[in-house]
Amino acid sequence: MRNKITILMLAAMLCLCTSCWLFCHTAIIAVDVRCSSKQQAEAREVFIKRAESLWKVYESTDVTHGVFTINYRGNDSLLNILLMRQGRIHIAETYAQSELLPMLMPVLAEIDSLRAGSDTSRRWLVGSAVNSPVIINSAKDQVSFIDSVFKSNMHLLPADVAFYWVAKMVQQTEMAEMDYELVALKLGHDDFVLNPESVKSCDVVKHKGSSRLAIELNEPYHKTWQRLTCNNIGKSLAVVIDGKVLVYLSVNSEIKKGHIEITGNFKYDDLLLIKAQMMGGELHCKGFVYDPS
């Protein structure tokens, strides 16, 4: 019996070693030399946590002269992206279009007036839903023009408003080319940060050809999320990553149990990258996969 157990253990170890030999490999990571030794060590911890959230990490070395190694079963191209992204993810409140539209009428009139004097046809529309944060739907070639008019008229608007462009194909037939949305966010409010402290788990879920991000918060953050959703029923909350709006979520009711779902037209790998940044934390010292050849 003892011999049988020994044989089984040796077989299991052989399978593990063979599996690692076939699929895992060592990547050499170079960290920004402009960072201090302490910053480089902190960056390594973030890198490792991000990698562990997606793949099996077998071992890693400490940072020496700005370089460390990681033996893992994963994808170097995705790892390289994770080494370069700061990864500050937070949820921000938004302004509903109805709250700003009276103040925006002179701005919209100016856009129409300036466009009427040019040879370019009008390819933008005011957002159709009054409770949505979408102020304007626009074609890509008119984004910079509209942006410049808004920037010159910010004195007409509340001091805490900020506008962000979101690339998102609108489905209505008459707006097939209107693939950018201008959304209004509230600045200076308490943003809800998604990081290892607040997030308990994060899973990329595939269902019927689409993918979504299912997030469970740590219990101390349930009340904060409940209050935030309660205060914004009928409005939207924006998910912001490194200063760019990823998506805005409609709030239909308060959420008491600390669950967040991020849905949209996302590629599976894009959601993996978001998950890794969320579970690994914010990065203040970047790196890259070093190829000695």
Asked if residue 17 belongs to a domain, the reply is no
Final residue belonging to a domain, choices 183, 198, 221: 183
Provide the pLDDT for residue 178: 60
Domain match, 175 and 220 both: no
Asked if residue 73 belongs to a domain, the reply is no
Provide the pLDDT for residue 121: 59
Domain that holds residue 157: 97-183
Domain match, 221 and 261 both: yes
Final residue belonging to a domain, choices 154, 183, 212: 183
Domain match, 246 and 176 both: no
Final residue belonging to a domain, choices 138, 154, 183: 183
Domain match, 203 and 250 both: yes
The 3-state DSSP composition of the chain as helix, strand, coil percent (nearest 5) reads 40, 30, 30
Provide the pLDDT for residue 117: 57
CA distance 143 to 240: 20
What the block records as the tokens of 184 is 């209004």
Domain match, 136 and 194 both: no
CA distance 123 to 140: 9
Provide the pLDDT for residue 25: 84
Side chain identity, residue 119: D
Q: Which runs of consecutive H residues, i.e. helices, occur in 92-208?
A: 97-116, 143-151
Q: What are phi and psi of 16, to 5 degrees?
A: -65, -45
CA 81 to chain centre: 13
CA distance 151 to 291: 44
- As for how many domains the chain has, the answer is 2
What the block records as the tokens of 135 is 């102020």
Provide the pLDDT for residue 23: 64
Beta-carbon count within 10 A of 220 CB: 10
Asked if residue 152 belongs to a domain, the reply is yes
What the block records as the tokens of 97 is 């279009």
Asked if residue 241 belongs to a domain, the reply is yes
Beta-carbon count within 10 A of 276 CB: 25
Provide the pLDDT for residue 12: 43
Domain match, 249 and 171 both: no
> Which residues, at least 6 apart from 282, have a Cβ–Cβ distance to it below 8 Å?
46, 86, 87, 88, 195
Contact 133, 237 (CB under 8 A): no
> Which pTM was predicted?
0.84
> Which residues, at least 6 apart from 133, have a Cβ–Cβ distance to it below 8 Å?
94, 95, 96, 97, 183, 184, 185, 235, 236, 238, 248
Provide the pLDDT for residue 200: 97
Asked if residue 265 belongs to a domain, the reply is yes
Average pLDDT, consecutive stretches of 10 residues, N- to C-terminus, the chain (293 residues): 47 43 79 96 97 95 96 92 96 94 91 69 72 89 91 94 81 58 87 95 90 96 96 94 93 94 90 96 95 79
Asked if residue 41 belongs to a domain, the reply is no
Provide the pLDDT for residue 148: 93
Q: Tell me the CATH number at 212.
A: 3.30.1360.200
